[in-house]
Structure 1
Amino acid sequence: MQQNNYPNPPYQVMEEEDTIDLRKLLFKYLRFWPWIVVSAGLGVILAVFFTRIATPIYKVEGTVLIQDGSPSLGADLFDGAGGMFGGKNNIENEVGILKSYTLAEEAVRKMNLNVSYFKDGIFSKPQLYGNVPIHAQLDWKHPQITGGLWKIKVLNTEEYELSIEEDNFSVFNPADPFYKTKLENVQVQEGRYKFGETIEGDHFKFSLENTSALAEEVLFVKFMDTPTLAQGYREKVQVAPTNKQASLLNITLETPVRRLGEDYLNHLMEAYLDRELKIKNQASENTVRFIDRQLSGITDSLTFFEDRLQKYRSDNRIFNLSQEGSIVFERLESLEKEKSEAELRKKYYTNLREYLSNEQLDDLTAPSVIGIQDPLLNALVINLAELQSERVRLSANFSDQTPAVVEVKNKIQNTRKTLLENVRSALTNTENILAELNQKVKMVERDINALPETERNLLGIQRQFSINENIYVYLLQKRAESEITKASNMPNNSILDFARAGALPISPKKSLSYLIGLILGLMLPIGVITVRDFLKTKIEDADQLQHDLKVPLLSQIGKSKAADKRVVFSKPRSMVTESFRNLRADMAYLVPHDQDTLTLSFTSTISGEGKTFVAYNTAAVYSLIGKKTLIMGLDLRKPRIAEDFDINYSKGISNVLSSNMDWREAVVSSGFPDCDVLLAGPTPPNPAELLMTEKFARMMEEVKEEYDVIIMDCPPVGLVSETKDLFKYADINLFVFRQNYSHQDAIQFVNELKAKGDVKNLYAIFNAVEGSSGTYGYGYGYGSKSYGYHEEEEKKKWYSLK
């Protein structure tokens, strides 16, 4: 028999771009709206609970004003020569100083933060600060365990009970303070102790004092070493300019204890100003040390010549020089004063040269403090001292290979070489001046030789006394000036705003927490649904099926909950029956109107997808309109019609094909008008070969002559081979998919059949559809609401995820 060829049917597969249908996506998730609402509510409730138990975090802020000092002459010269020296106060440098470990350590030491105290709470342990009920005394010269948490239960004013709350201890060794070892087991006897009693072991030594603790009060203490505390606070503190143009630095710290944060930032800013003042005072201190070394020798000489002058005057009864001697002495005294000042400068230059050669840059003294008025030399010494301070600061926080440290070291070497050359030149000039003064002194000494011997000797002694006296007075004057300078020094920078915490905590924020709780509550069920859809292997959605199939999806058949599978006959007003009527109506568009007979084949990928159910009830809707209909059970391997539809007859197609029996003898009535059944019969040993015989082909011709509609219930095409040979007898071939049962691989199987061209007029049916599987809520053809047109079946529970 020739296969029927029809014109293009109205159901054409359209090539569509892969676009996201937002409305479809929305309705997909709205199917589970009760779950989403419940989850969102739980998220908000958990957020409220979190905000109540979470420890509030406060933001503490302080402000430092950075004053840009006026550059010195030497700095201007060298800046113009190539930018060797930066400004005195570089904002980035000041930020680095404020965040340095050195300042953090100094602040921690001043505040004595090595012991933290906590009180017992329901969900957390709030930290106590200030007036604590107990006080711990630790011997930091002894190894100490840090990091863990001790529990203190006060028994009375004299005793307490000690136990370990959190065993997370490390051992701090004072011999190596920057390295700690983990301690697994703490060898301490838990139990009763007296306040004031020293508790000592290999890794701890401490005692507790009761200041205001009451009986039955429970407290907790934690010991922390200074290096760990300093490093922790250093990482927590944030320093940043208020804006790019201003020289204001904003210092912030986030902490659960407002007062503690305020005190720490204030101590940090004070340590910052103390450091600057210490650097400024260093030049005065170096000057005082230099002058004190000179005075130690001058004082002895001055005393010696003072005694000698007094004795000589007494012995020789001469107290004043003659007029001529006084004139000579004044000339000589003036020269000796110039000579002593030149020798003092020479000593300074000599010491400065030794410091530079030996790189003792911390002992530099500015030339101006001892009366040397050389602007370039003075600027070089000051700049070199500042560069040395910068190197010390950077080396405390960075390695020697860091670019910033390398750059500062290069600047120090260049400045040191330049300064050393200037010192050598100044030393040569000073030696020339001394030689010239010595010549002048020799000329005056000739005039002295013309004086009487007694006066000449008096003049010599008085000359030595005057020289030492002038030097002594000069040094005392410079020392006093240096002390005054040191006392009057003030930091260039200043604290503009002392640390102050905000009135409200920055964390947790109620509105933000509620929003996050709501979002997480919404995202959890949506995420579960999305992951579930991503991992699913079964076909669930009709639209996705229609999108992926290369053949038209002809109809959707609702899931019947009736016990009788002949639903068209048993429930003629149900929605499932109506979906079969829709299938019958759609079928009219697929065949020519003048065709007298219609042959339909039904198959699926595997058994259980409902092809027999769909085939039987499709036959039933045709019989209801008076079409003489025959249902043929062609699944000879696993026949289901007799069992599923309660038909008691043992003969069928296998008997007809394997004997001389006429096929009409095997036909039985379904029990309903115009609907007959031709069962498969007993399972033969060769079902595929029987269906390929010439006898079967003749039988099909005869059947089509006697019946208006022939329904072929074929075997699953994915399991057996004979189904492909049966397709040629049908006008329309229908492939049945079942919701939540058929695998997605079945779609590819049907697409391959279409691509190979083995099957003509192939269409798909989506069976056992529950709820609204179609787009935007449509299902069964009329929608999910019947409004009295159909019998209502039991609705799916709202909490079901299927």
Structure 2
Amino acid sequence: MNPNIPSTPSSAPNPFLIQQEDEIDLKVILFNYLQYWPWIILFAFFGVLSAFLFNRFATPIYKVESTVIVKDENTSLGADLFASAGLAGLQGKSNIENEIGILRSYTLAYSTLSQLEMNVQYFREGVFSNQQIYGNVPVFIKADWTKDQAVGGLFRLEVIDENRFELEVEDDNFQLFNPQDPNYKSKLETLELNSSVFEFGKPVSSDFFHFTVEKVSALPGETLFFRLMDTPSLALKLTQDISVAPTNKQSSILTLSLETPVRRLGVDYLNKLMETYLKRELDDKNRTAENTIRFIDQQLSGITDSLRFSENKLQQYRSENKIFNLSQEGSIIFERLQELEKEKSLNEINLKYLQTLNDYLKNSQTGDLIAPSIIGTSDPLLNALVQNLSELQADRVRLTANFSEQTPQVRDINARIQSTSKALQENVGSAMTNTQNLISNLNSQIRMIERDINRLPETERNLLSYTRQFTINENIYIYFLQKKAEAEITKASNMPSNMILDFAKSGQLPVAPKRSLNLLIGLILGLILPIGFITVKDFLNTKIEDPKELEKQIKVPLIGMIGRNNSGDALPVLNNPRSTVTESFRSLRADLTYLSPQKDKLTLLFTSSISGEGKTFVSMNVASVFALMGKKTILIGLDLRKPRIAQDFNLVNDKGMSTCLSSSTSWQEVVKSSGYENLDVILSGPIPPNPAELLLQERFGKIVKEIKDQYDVVVFDCPPVGLVSETKELFAYSDVNFYVFRQGYSMKGNTQILNNLVEKGGVTKMYGILNDLHIDKGYGYGYGYGYGYGYGSNSYGYHDEVQLPWWKRALRRKS
């Protein structure tokens, strides 16, 4: 190695780099994407077009909404009594969540569908898909759901004439619905028709379907499609499709919404759902009155016989004894006795009710509870407890129809039922004790009056006894008749606690497809797909593309960039001196003069990592640009394995450096004229068997010394340092060394070869050159590396300016 060559630290700042702001990186990224702008615009166009076509032909979905007001348990009857009795915890939370569960329950949906004609779906043929119709259908199909039916698949029906139609199976998505096992359907592999032509109004039957087609308004040649749907499947689907939510957190108003392609169908279903919901609530309320009426009827059936018997006995005694009225004393005693026995009868009825209620509670038979107020019990807490327990039981029945026993809602209501039952049992026990004590006290008073009766004459005493028995039965009978009438009035006047606030209505505009959003998504996807592909491609790209990235990776200054040579001429400096590429080499020549200002003579060495990176192209044109300057220049081809210089200068590679080193031929004998002034060439010569050994000979050093004495500029075109070893020994003969990379060709990992030469090999005066820079990729925008982009515009007429893409010209004007 030449010890006289000054060392350049790898960390020294590059004096030839125009420092750029970080924002330039954004321009580089933008340019990298903009070079693919036709593809990006094309994909964006197709994205928007696809979204437009989807909006145009997709089935519109409409939102149907209705609202109901639900009762709040915290304001129900007896709430204040629970609080005053220390039983406020039995009231529980607001039942909004329970009502939401009921409205979305399978049982309620099934009951609703049973009242509607929705088991047959009708369709008309559309451009891309069939359009469902509802209401005014040209034919009406009545299916026999007591027999097996093929459901889920599509039938095609074409009207032949006024009396006949043709039926075909359109798809194979059929399942067999068995009414004996409605929750299980088996897959039908094939479905074939025994005949394809049928008559309107006559049964269409096979082993798998049974229905009748009635003609409504269909015309000959008209075609439509229909699908049979079993009620369980429809109910399950609708429970998933319907949405129920409170209007706000504090509100007891629930909004029911259903999205459907057929607005009228959604309106009919929601209205019928709310009607069924309120009817079920009213049925639950009426159940208590019905239980009371049934209890009274049972009591009346017994008391009627007793009343008839006692009446007959009284009439018989009067006829036989010719006595019809009591004496004044007897009447007074009878009136006193009648009041006490009437009160006793009422208490006995009350006790009997309490005993019945107690038996129900012990046996957990709370479904037949009777309202105490109907029987005559005036205890407000007892009335409130029974009413609350009855409502809880009704809520539980509705909840368990849609939820399992392990769900939080059912567990919560079970706990509340258990607590209410326990409180009711305690209250009933206390009421029974009080009633028994009251009856015992009345019996004592009656016995005292009976002693006065014993002082009456026997005939009058017997008449009083028969009259007394008849009056007791009559009072009980009248009492029960009165209570039955009251219960019937209560039942007739019952109203649902909940109410419909708004009947179902549909918006005029569809909620799907969301046209503006779909167009935006189409545009975004149209942009993301190509940009994402470009980003992934660049991320996976292992080739050197960005000069700034290369500058960061190498440990030496990046002195220049050579633009792409689009002329196809390997010697643009000599043959096209006005080109931008030529200007790149002129700029590089100026930089080299700056690097060695004290040297009248220069020896330059060019190498690369692998073949094909353009080191020969760069070395030939660097030699040429010095020759144009008037410097006596010689280009020496030291790539003995793969010579290229002879071909580019149209010379014959019959002799050269290999000839000098392998024989006694002097170097002067192998010098050839390039055909251009001030530029000579020593070719590599015929390929020798031992190129490495030839270049390492002592004679090579002597030849180089003699050549340096004769020429101002000596340019070595060396083999790739990444492929052969002799290049490392040639650095000792040069003043300045250049490592050539090629954009889009050189591997990023090759930078490590250069770094090892500098850090471990001790090579000094080393600089990097990026060759074949593509102007349309945007890299190098604004860089001061010697590439003439931007230079020509300020020196119009000095060289031919490269025609830039339109988008780059626009950005250039703005910057």
| TM-score w.r.t. length of structure 2 | 0.92
Deviates more, 1:328-337 or 1:361-370: 328-337
Structure 2 counterparts to residues 552-591 of structure 1, below 5 A = 552-591=557-596
Q: Equivalent residues in 2 for 1:101-120 (5 A)?
A: 101-120=106-125
Question: Residues 793 and 440 (structure 1 numbering): CA distance in 2 closer, same or farther, change over 3 Å?
Answer: closer
- For residues 564-643 of structure 1, the aligned pairs below 5 Å read 564-591=569-596, 593-643=597-647
| Structure 1 SS opposite 2:594 | coil
Q: Does 1:171 align with 2:176?
A: yes
Which of residues 644, 661, 671 in structure 2 aligns to 1:667?
671
| SS of equivalent to 1:561 | coil
User: Residue deviations 1:286-310, cap 9 Å, x none?
Assistant: 1111111111111122222223323
Tell me if structure 1 keeps the 8 A contact 2:792–2:799.
no
Cα deviation for residue 155 of structure 1 reads: 1.6
Written as runs of structure 1 = structure 2, the 5 A alignment for 1:40-55 is 40-55=44-59
> Match for 1:176: what amino acid?
D
**Retained in 2: the 8 A contact 1:546–1:553?**
yes
Residue of structure 1 in register with 2:653 after alignment: 649
What is the match of residue 2 of structure 1? Answer: 2
Measured after TM superposition, the shift of residue 75 of structure 1 is: 5.6
- Contact 1:555 1:583 survives alignment (8 Å): yes
Cα distance, 1:785 vs. partner? 7.1
* 1:474-623 matched pairs, under 5 angstroms: 474-591=479-596, 593-623=597-627
Offset at 1:431?
A: 2.2
Q: Is 1:84 aligned to 2:89, yes or no?
A: yes
Closer, same or farther: CA 110–747 of 1 in aligned 2, 3 Å: farther
CA RMSD of aligned residues (A): 2.8
In 1: Cα distance, 2:299 partner to 2:757 partner: 111
Q: Cα distance 1:139–1:382, how it changes in 2: closer, same or farther (>3 A)?
A: same
- Which residue in the other structure is 2:710 paired with? 706
Percent identity between the two aligned chains: 56
Q: SS in structure 2 opposite 1:710?
A: strand
Contact 2:7 2:764 in 1 (8 A): no
Within the alignment, does 1:146 sit opposite 2:151 as a pair? yes
Deviation track 1:700-758 (CA, whole Å, cap 9, x = no partner) reads: 22222222111111111221122222223222221222222222222343334344353
Number of matched pairs: 798
**C-alpha separation between the residues in 1 aligned to 2:164 and 2:721?**
87
Of 768, 788, 810, the residue aligned with 1:781 is 788
Specify whether residues 199 and 342 from structure 1 end up closer, same or farther in structure 2 by C-alpha distance, changes over 3 A only: same
The reply on whether 1:465 has 2:474 as its aligned counterpart is no
Aligned match of 1:719: 723
Q: Relative to structure 1, is the Cα distance of residues 164 and 728 closer, same or farther in structure 2, using a 3 angstrom cutoff?
A: farther
Q: CA deviation at 1:658?
A: 2.1
Q: What displacement does 1:274 show? A: 1.7
Comparing 789-798 and 542-551, the one that deviates more: 789-798
* Structure 2: distance between partners of 1:740 and 1:568: 23
TM superposition shift of 1:370:
0.8
Judge conservation of contact 1:187–1:201 (CA < 8 Å) in 2: no
Write the distance in 1 (CA, Å) between the matches of 2:140 and 2:635.
96
- Contact between 1:734 and 1:764, CA under 8 Å: does it hold in 2? yes
Q: In the aligned structure 2, how far is the partner of 1:702 from the partner of 1:76?
A: 123
Given the superposition, is the C-alpha separation of residues 585 and 390 from structure 1 closer, same or farther in structure 2, using an over 3 Å criterion?
same
Output the CA distance in 1 between the equivalents of 2:250 and 2:48: 44
State the match for 1:378 in structure 2: 383
Give the Cα separation in 1 of the matches to 2:107 and 2:66: 19
CA distance in 2, matches of 1:250, 1:481: 37
1:11 aligned onto 2:14: yes
Q: Could you tell me which amino acid in structure 1 is paired with residue 256 of structure 2?
A: I
Distance 1:361 1:751 in 2: 91
SS in 2 for 1:588: helix
**Structure 1: distance between partners of 2:87 and 2:790:** 85
CA distance in 2: counterparts of 1:148 and 1:391, whole angstroms? 37
What whole-Å deviation, never above 9, does each CA across 1:177-233 have from its counterpart, x for those lacking one? Answer: 233333332344462222233333443322222211111111111122222212222
Distance 2:553 2:203 in 1: 80
Paired residues of 2:773 and 2:779 also in contact (CA < 8 A): no
Structure 2 gap ranges (5+): 808-815
Please give the alpha-carbon distance, in whole angstroms, between the structure 1 residues aligned to 2:179 and 2:83.
Answer: 46
Q: Counterpart of 2:91 in 1: which secondary structure?
A: coil
Corresponding position of 1:219: 224
Deviations 1:448-483 (A, max 9, x none): 333333333332222222111111110111111111
Q: How does 1:319-334 map to 2 (within 5 A)?
A: 319-334=324-339
Q: Is the Cα–Cα contact under 8 Å of residues 27 and 777 in structure 1 kept in the other structure?
A: no
Q: Distance in 2 between matches of 1:49 and 1:702?
A: 79
Aligned to 1:256: 261
Unaligned runs of 5+ in 1: none
Q: Deviations for 1:49-87, whole angstroms, at most 9, x for unmatched residues?
A: 222212222222212223547344466535884752236
The one-letter code sitting in structure 2 at the alignment partner of 1:46 is S
User: 1: CA distance between counterparts of 2:533 and 2:404?
Assistant: 51
CA displacement, residues 131-176 of structure 1 (integer Å, 9 cap, x when unaligned):
1111122222223222222211222222222222232222323233
Residues 579 and 644 (structure 1), Cα distance of their counterparts in 2 relative to 1, 3 Å cut: same
Q: Secondary structure in 1 aligned to 2:170?
A: strand
Range 287-296 or range 13-22, more displaced: 13-22
How do residues 61-100 of structure 1 correspond to structure 2 at under 5 angstroms? 61-68=65-72, 70-73=75-78, 76-78=81-83, 81=86, 83-86=88-91, 90-100=95-105
Distance 1:89-1:305 versus aligned 2 partners, 3 A rule: farther
Q: Matched residues in 2 for 1:455 and 1:590: separation?
A: 153
- The amino acid of 2:414's aligned partner reads K
Paired residues of 1:62 and 1:497 also in contact (CA < 8 A)? yes
Greater shift in the superposed pair: 97-106 or 715-724: 97-106
Q: State whether residues 614 and 771 of structure 2, in contact with CA within 8 Å, keep that contact through their aligned partners in structure 1.
A: yes
Cα 1:629–1:776, aligned 2, differ >3 Å: closer, same or farther? closer
3-state SS of the aligned residue for 1:85? helix
Q: State the partner residue of 2:240.
A: 235
